A and B are shown apart, each in its own frame.
Chain A
Amino acid sequence: MAPRPRTIAEKILARASGKDDLVRGEIVEARPDFTYAHDFAVFAIDAFEAMGATRVVDPDRNAVCLDHATPANNKRDANNQARIRAFAERHRFRAFFAGGTGISHQVMVEKGFVTPGALVVAHDSHTPSGGAVGALAIGTGEAEIGFLWATGRLWLKVPGSIRVVLDGRLARGVYAKDLMLEIIRRLGVLGAVYQVLEFQGPAAPTLSVSERFTLCNMSAEVGAKGGVFVPDAVTEAFMQARAQYPYTSVAPDAGADYTETLALDLGALAPLVALPGREDRGVPVAEAAGTRVHQVFIGSCTNARTDDLAIAAAILRGRQVHPSVRLMVVPASRAVMAEAAANGDLAALIEAGATLMPSGCAVCAGVHQGVLADGEVCLSTSNRNMPGRMGNQAAEIILCSPATAAASALTGVVTDPRTVLA
């Protein structure tokens, strides 16, 4: 009997757990194809050592990229980072990337460690970013990574999948971030819990890997286990001369069983912002227009790639950031920074008044610079805006696209980017 038609997540998980068929909701023991870690790996090392483990299974399938607290703020963080480097070197990990290389999710995709059809695991909630290239990329805790290093295995519940059908073309001034804020607004912060968002539809091939990254990355903001794009010619072009491992792309079967279908007409979208406190509080930017902004952060794994910086630079070139605004620009990786330096976008942003900071998570989680004062508002291209996220619960965070961020940096108030685009 032929197996029943399956989703991408079901096919990848079945292969990784050595099973022909899976029952949704069942717990399987899987062997991930690639695992990565960042600064919080110290707790994975603690767990590994406390288990009495001495050998990492498949070190060639493991990598580390430090990103949360680099360059180190204090002796404790510096010592943690030195310990992680020593561990990765002692156990002969495939790669170790020091602070400044970039945000781990970005670096692992950009350098080809995340491959189409792979089961990828990392101890971070934004691991689903890897779905941009057709991987099933899942976030876990830190101790589990220690367990995985020691045994090569971990448990995963077989998820259902929500089919997200994208149609139409984004209008001028509207971006992938606006689309994702709309999806989050519709589903809510746990609207896809234990589900995978499978992005497909006529508009999917028109989206770049960077745009797909934005969508898969913020799958975390609907509680999803992952987000994944059906691999296509765009994926193949991106992987060429980049893939670190051989891979087999996985597409869904015709007739696969989805728990839900969410259809979106990209052409009907307007720029959105997510109001402070929760990521599902999306409203048209017009509803928040005029709100005073003290800090603008163009950064994070969500929206700080070359195309994002180009969008911001196009708005800010030859102009000046409003004197009451601090604009912080943090390229998602050193490679992005180099590209934006070479094409002139970085200079345009700096000349407009941006402060350039080292590639990493930076302001996003309130652990490394850019902390807000009481009563201040930060307009951010990042992914989270719950109280205190940037280190001060008496401040507020509004989420938006790089275009809305740049337009608002010019005016000092939340601004619809369509009003300043040339």
Chain B
Amino acid sequence: MSGSVLRGTAAVFGDFVAADVILPARFAFLPTAEAVPHAMAELAPDANARLRAHPILVGGNAFGYGSGREATARVIKAAGVKAVIGGPFARMFFRNAINNGVLVIDCPALIAAGIADGDAVTIDLDACTAVTASGCFAIAPTPPIIRSILAAGSIVDYGRALLAARA
């Protein structure tokens, strides 16, 4: 992401959606484009379509817990998701999403206040807020290294620039 503000509509998913449910391991070796149709497909018949329809993924408690396979983050990114908010989220899910350029924000209060598919969400990293029709919620400051990776696009883009600067 570039800039500090991200706006979009939400797709809302529940609690304890494991990384293995977001993308079962047997699809994790596929090229990302081929894996995307399998993303969330075992959760519910419409889950894959909902994932692709909205740039903000609202995930419930422990969304993405368990496996640390990065394919989980790659398919979410490839499905068009720009930010994941709600949680709290597992640390490997968090790292992998950030490294693929997908912002992750712990903000369970946003879910508790009520949110539905298609609702607008505005995340402001400078102001440290997330705003929905249900209210304005405080979010933790995003550390500089994470801002840098997101601004670059991904850890690969960040690493490429770093190596080029050293050469």
Contact = CB atoms under 8 A, between A and B. Distances in A.
A262 interface: no
A141 B68 contact: yes
A151 B159 contact: yes
A190 B66 CA distance: 9
Contacts of B90: 190, 193, 223
Nearest to B74: A43
B10 interface: no
Interface string A134-171: 00000111111011001100010100000000000000
A193 to B, nearest CB: 6
B13 to A, nearest CB: 14
B167 to A, nearest CB: 9
Interface string A224-266: 0100000000000000000000000000000000000000000
Interface in B37-58: 42
A140 B21 CA distance: 19
A47 B71 CA distance: 13
B68 A51 contact: no
Interface stretch (B24-32, B78-86, B120-128): B24-32
A313 B63 CA distance: 39
Contact of A53 (B18, B73, B163): B163
Contact of B21 (A42, A53, A157, A387): A387
Given A139-B68, A391-B24, A393-B42, A51 B163 contact: yes
A40 B143 CA distance: 28
A125 interface: yes
Nearest to B144: A27
Contact of A77 (B29, B95, B96, B99): B29
B163 A389 contact: no
Contacts of A391: 24-26
B11 to A, nearest CB: 20
A144 B163 CA distance: 14
A146 B158 CA distance: 12
Contact of A365 (B25, B61, B62, B100): B25
Given A47-B159, A367-B25, A387-B42, A190 B65 contact: yes
A141 B93 CA distance: 9
A223 B92 CA distance: 9
B5 interface: no
B164 interface: yes
A150 B65 contact: no
B112 interface: no
Contacts of A146: 156, 159
Most buried by A among B100, B154, B163: B163
A405 interface: no
Nearest to B32: A43
Interface residues of B, number: 39
A189 B156 contact: no
Residue from the set B28, B156, B160 with the largest chain A CB neighbour count within 10 Å? B156
Contact of B68 (A42, A77, A140): A140
Interface residues of A, number: 49
Contacts of A77: 29
Interface string B138-156: 0000010100000000111
B92 A140 contact: yes
Nearest to A364: B25
Q: Which of A27, A143, A220, A388 has the most CB of B within 10 A?
A: A143
A157 B163 CA distance: 23
Contact of B99 (A52, A68, A141, A366): A141
A367 B24 CA distance: 9
A207 to B, nearest CB: 25
Contacts of B18: 386-387, 389
A351 interface: no
Nearest to A126: B68
A146 to B, nearest CB: 7
A219 B62 CA distance: 15
A190 B71 CA distance: 21
B16 interface: yes
Given A367-B28, A389-B25, 16 more contacts: A39-B29, A69-B29, A80-B29, A123-B68, A123-B70, A124-B68, A139-B68, A140-B95, A143-B154, A150-B163, A151-B162, A189-B62, A193-B88, A193-B90, A384-B20, A391-B24
21 contacts: A51-B159, A52-B163, A123-B68, A124-B68, A141-B73, A141-B95, A141-B96, A141-B99, A143-B99, A144-B99, A146-B156, A147-B158, A151-B163, A193-B90, A193-B91, A223-B62, A365-B25, A366-B26, A367-B28, A387-B42, A388-B42
Interface of A: 27, 39-40, 42-43, 47, 50-53, 68-69, 76-77, 80, 123-125, 139-144, 146-147, 150-151, 155, 157, 189-190, 193-194, 220-221, 223, 225, 278, 365-367, 384, 386-389, 391, 393
The 8 closest A-B pairs by CB, nearest first: A125-B68, A386-B18, A51-B159, A141-B96, A141-B70, A365-B25, A142-B70, A51-B160
Interface of B: 16, 18, 20-21, 24-26, 28-29, 42, 61-62, 65-71, 73, 88, 90-92, 95-96, 99-100, 143, 145, 154-156, 158-160, 162-164
